[in-house]
Amino acid sequence: MPYPYDLDEINKRASADPAGFAKECEAIYSRKVHEAAGMVKERIQYNNVVLLAGPSGSGKTTTALKICSALEKIKIKATTVSLDKYYLPYDPATSPTQENGEIDYESPYCLDLEMLNKHFTALNRGGEVTIPHYNFKIQNRDPSKEKKLKLGKDEVVIFEGIHALNDLLTNEHPGSIKVYVSARSDIEEDGLLRFRRQWIRLMRRVVRDENFRGTGASETLGMWANVREGERKYIIPFKHKSDIMIDSSMAYEVSVMKQFALTAFKDSFDLLSEAEGLSPLLPALSEFVDIDAKHVPPESILREFIGGGMYKY
């Protein structure tokens, strides 16, 4: 488990040199990304499929893209594919549902596991596959957006998604390179917990969904309990299968994200206060010295959530 960040140190650095603090934090994260890329390079002769998993708000997409960039610098062509493309068309008779009857997107059985396993095998053998595309609005596939994929020499594909390390996939492909990504560091003050790592992910998701997915904070909060239950059942039990774990949290990020989070939460303060385990989140934000988002570089993982980044999602 990574060491917790120290609130006093965060605030000192945020006040004295926010630009330097941000640069230092970003460099630490980048080193983890390059370490993962190095592992891929070492094993590409045996397997060219990378499975990257992590819970909601962990920054899987940006991490996968950054690993691709690091690989291309060492002459390895890399492609990313979201497991979300492999969701099965909604079927009221077979699709897993929540207690309220809505489809349970946290369940791995929403995915076309048979197709995924066939594609992993085919790609690793040099075959060509057709990547489907799932449209969440119509809860069905869109054939017009299918894409062909075939890997050549010194080429890899990174499949990223919450279920990428689930036994339902990895048991049939034990040789695949496995990466687990999550915000894994709490923030403490004098040995007392002040900001939980789960709150970092919730804050990221609320800000992203509000800005880019048309989902307000109240709706995201309404789903959060089911999201967390899905993590405990389907994601966290498999993280030990990873070849490398990447902590996507950065010491300076709460100081940046708090401004966006407070705006996103503005109409949901009561709901947040009433949610189990979340009532201390808002008061905790006031303990952090602000850092202006101008110090966040365009390649930062934080740009996945606040916008203004160099990657397309």
Residue ranges covered by each domain of the chain: 5-306
Return the pLDDT at 52.
98
Strand 140-141 and strand 177-182: the pairing is unpaired
Tell me the C-alpha distance between 218 and 91, whole Å: 27
Residue 278 contacts residue 268 (beta carbons within 8 Å): no
pLDDT of residue 104: 85
Digit-coded pLDDT (tens) for 27-81: 999 999 999 999 999 999 899 999 999 999 999 999 999 999 999 999 999 999 9
Structure tokens at 59: 């920054």
In the three-class reduction of DSSP (H, G, I as helix; E, B as strand; rest coil), residue 216 is classed as: coil
State the Cα–Cα distance between residues 175 and 140, nearest whole angstrom: 31
- Ranges under pLDDT 50 in the chain: none
Report CA Rg, the chain. 20
Architecture of domain 5-306 in CATH? 3-Layer(aba) Sandwich (3.40)
Return the pLDDT at 72: 95
pTM of this structure: 0.93
Confidence at residue 232, expressed as pLDDT on a 0 to 100 scale: 95
Write down the pLDDT at residue 313.
Answer: 79
